[in-house]
Structure 1
Amino acid sequence: MARKLSISTGAYSDKGRKKINQDFNALRQPKEPLRTEKGFAVALADGISTSSVSDQASKAAVNGFLEDYFSTPETWSVKKSAQCVLSAINSWLYSQNQRTPYRYNPDTGYVCTFSALVVKSSTAYIFHTGDNRIYRLNNNRLEALTREHRVAAPEGKHYLKHALGIDARLSFDYQSLKLEAGDTFLLVTDGIFESVTDEAMAGICREYAEDLNVAAQQIAEQAYLNGSEDNLTVQIVRIDDLPLKSAGETLQAYARLPFVPALQPGSCVDGLRMIRPLHVSGRSHVYLAKDEARDQPLVFKIPASEIHESDAALERFLLEEWIAKKINNTHVLRPYLSHRKRHYFYSLSEYVEGQTLAEWMQDNPKPSLAQVRNIIEQIAKGLQAFHRLEMIHQDLRPENILIDNEGTVKIIDFGSTWVAGLEELSLPVSREEVLGTVQYAAPEYFLGEYGTAQSDMFSLAVMTYQMLAGRLPYGNAVAKSKTRAAQRKLKYKSVLHEHSDIPVWVDLTLRKALQPDPFKRYDEITEFIADLRKPNPKFIHETRPPLLERNPVLFWQLVSGTLLMAVVYLAGLQLSA
Structure 2
Amino acid sequence: MEHLQPSLDISFAQLSEAGRKPENQDTVGARFPEGAALVTKGVAIAIADGVSSSSAARQASQTAVTGILTDYYATPDTWRTGQSANRVIQSLNRYLWSQSQNNVRQEGYLTTLSLLVLKGDKAFVFHVGDSRIYRLRNGQLEQLTRDHNQRIDKNTTYLSRALGADLTLEVDMESLEIERGDLYLLSTDGLHDAVDDKTLTQMLTQTDDLDALCQTLYQTALARGSEDNVSLQLARVNNIGTPSESDAITVLSRLPFPPILNKGQCLDGLTVEKILHESERSQVYLVKNREGVPLVMKTPSPNYSDDAAYIERFVRESWIGARLSNRHVVRVVEPPQTRSCLYYLTEFIPGPTLTQLIRERAPFAVADATELAEQLVAGVRALHRKDTLHQDLKPDNIVIGTQGACLVDFGSCWVAGVEEMASPIAGDKILGTLDYSAPEYRYGGATGPRSDQFSLAVLVYEMLTGKHPYGEAYGKAMSLNQFQKLSYRSSLQFNPLVPVWLDRALEKALSIQPGQRYEALSEWLQDIKRPNPNWLNARHKPLIERHPERVWKLLALTGWAVAAGLLVFVASR
Which TM bucket (shorter chain)? 0.5 to 0.7
Among residues 364, 367, 371, which one is paired with 1:370 in the alignment? 367
2:506 equivalent to 1:505: no
Q: For residues 72 and 300 of structure 1, do their structure 2 counterparts lie closer, same or farther at Cα, with a shift above 3 Å needed?
A: closer
Pick the aligned partner of 2:318 from 301, 309, 321. 321
Judging changes above 3 Å, is the alpha-carbon distance between structure 1 residues 428 and 503 closer, same or farther for their aligned structure 2 residues? farther
Q: What is the TM-score with the length of structure 1 in the denominator?
A: 0.53
CA-CA distance at 1:478 after TM superposition: 3.5
Distance (Å, rounded) in 2 between the aligned partners of 1:71 and 1:540: 52
Deviation, 1:208, is: 12
Summarize the alignment of residues 292-331 of structure 1 with structure 2, pairs less than 5 Å apart: 292=290, 294-331=291-328
Q: Do structure 1's residue 395 and structure 2's residue 362 form an aligned pair?
A: no
Alignment of 1:12-161 (within 5 A): 67-70=34-37, 119-121=76-78
Partners of 1:358 and 1:447 in 2: how far apart?
27
Q: Verify: 1:523 aligned to 2:480, yes or no.
A: no
Change (3 A) 1:71 1:490: farther
The answer as to whether partners of 1:494 and 1:549 remain within 8 angstroms in 2 is: no
* Alpha-carbon distance in 1 for matches of 2:439, 2:314: 25
Distance in 1 (alpha carbons) for counterparts of 2:371 and 2:494: 20
Cα RMSD between the aligned structures? 3.9
Residue ranges of structure 2 left out of the alignment (5+ in a row): 1-5, 9-32, 42-72, 81-86, 89-94, 100-168, 174-243, 548-573
- Within the candidate set 444, 447, 468, 1:448 is matched to 444
Paired residue type of 1:426:
A
Amino acid at match of 2:305: H
CA contact (8 A) 2:330 2:406 kept: yes
Q: Give 1:422-571 correspondences, 5 Å limit.
A: 422-427=418-423, 433=429, 435-544=431-540
Greater shift in the superposed pair: 367-376 or 339-348 = 339-348
Offset of 1:451 from its aligned partner? 2.1
How far apart, CA to CA, are the structure 1 residues paired with 2:484 and 2:354?
30
Cα distance change of structure 1 residues 538 and 263 upon mapping to structure 2, 3 Å threshold:
same
SS of residue paired to 2:298 = strand
Correspondence for 2:249 among 237, 248, 251:
251
Given candidates 354, 375, 379, the residue that maps to 2:376 is 379
Partner of 1:48: none
Shift of 1:474: 1.2
How much does 1:400 deviate?
0.3
Contact 1:361 1:467 in 2 (8 A): yes
Q: What is the letter of the counterpart of residue 249 of structure 2?
A: L
For each residue in 1:178-217, what CA deviation from the matched residue of structure 2 results, as whole angstroms up to 9, or x when unmatched?
xxx99xxxxxxxxxxxxxxxxxxxxxxxx99968xxxxxx
Would you say the 8 A contact 2:391–2:413 is kept in 1?
A: yes
Which deviations, in whole Å up to 9, do the C-alpha atoms of 1:425-460 show, x marking residues without a partner? Answer: 334899874521011010110122342100001000
Q: What's 1:260 paired with?
A: 258
- Cα distance in 2 for partners of 1:461, 1:431 equals 28
Q: 1:302 deviation in Å?
A: 0.9
Which residue is 1:190 aligned to? Answer: none
- Structure 2 length-normalised TM: 0.53
Alignment pair present for 1:275 and 2:268: no
CA contact (8 A) 1:431 1:450 kept: no
Match of 1:411 in 2: 407
> Is contact 1:418–1:431 with CA below 8 Å preserved after alignment?
no
More divergent stretch after superposition (441-450 vs 271-280): 441-450
Q: 1:272 to 1:432 in 2, by over 3 A?
A: closer
* Equivalent AA in structure 1 for residue 365 of structure 2: S
Partner in structure 2 of residue 290 of structure 1: 288
Per the alignment, do residues 438 and 454 of structure 1 end up closer, same or farther by CA in structure 2, a change over 3 Å counting? same
C-alpha spacing 1:506/1:71, structure 2 compared with 1 (3 Å) = farther
Distance 1:541 1:210, change over 3 A: farther
Cα drift, residue 366 of structure 1:
2.1
Q: SS of the counterpart of 2:286?
A: strand
Q: Specify which of 344, 348, 361 is matched with residue 347 of structure 1.
A: 344
Shift of 1:539: 1.3
Write the deviation string for residues 211-252 of structure 1: whole angstroms up to 9, x where unpaired.
8xxxxxxxxxxxxxxxxxxxxxxxxxxxx99x9xx9722222
Hey, what's the Cα distance between the residues in 2 that align with 1:273 and 1:348?
A: 13
Does the 8 A contact of 2:262 with 2:272 survive in 1? Answer: yes
Cα distance in 1 for residues equivalent to 2:524 and 2:318: 29
> What letter is aligned with 2:505?
T
1:332 deviation in Å?
A: 0.1
The count of corresponding residues between Structure 1 and Structure 2 is: 341
- Evaluate the alpha carbon distance shift between residue 501 and residue 544 of structure 1 in structure 2; reply closer, same or farther with a 3 A threshold: farther
Aligned residues with identical type, % of pairs:
37
Matched, 1:359 2:356: yes
In 1, are the aligned partners of 2:431 and 2:441 still within 8 Å (CA)?
no
Q: Does the CA contact (< 8 Å) of 1:454 and 1:522 recur in 2?
A: yes
**Shift of residue 420, structure 1, vs aligned partner:** 1.1
Q: How does 1:228-239 map to 2 (within 5 A)?
A: none
Distance 1:326 1:247, change over 3 A: closer
Change (3 A) 1:527 1:308: same
- In 2: Cα distance, 1:118 partner to 1:478 partner: 47
Secondary structure of 1:119 counterpart: coil
Offset from partner CA, 1:24-53 (integer Å, 9 cap, x none): xxxxxxxx999xxxxxxxxxxxxxxxxxxx
1:505 CA drift (Å): 0.5
Distance 1:279 1:73 in 2: 35
Q: Is 1:321–1:347's contact at 8 Å kept on the other side of the alignment?
A: yes
Partners of 1:428 and 1:403 in 2: how far apart? Answer: 39
Structure 1 counterpart of 2:397, one-letter code: N
CA contact (8 A) 2:327 2:403 kept: no
Gap regions ≥5 residues in structure 1: 1-31, 35-65, 75-115, 124-180, 183-206, 212-239, 552-577
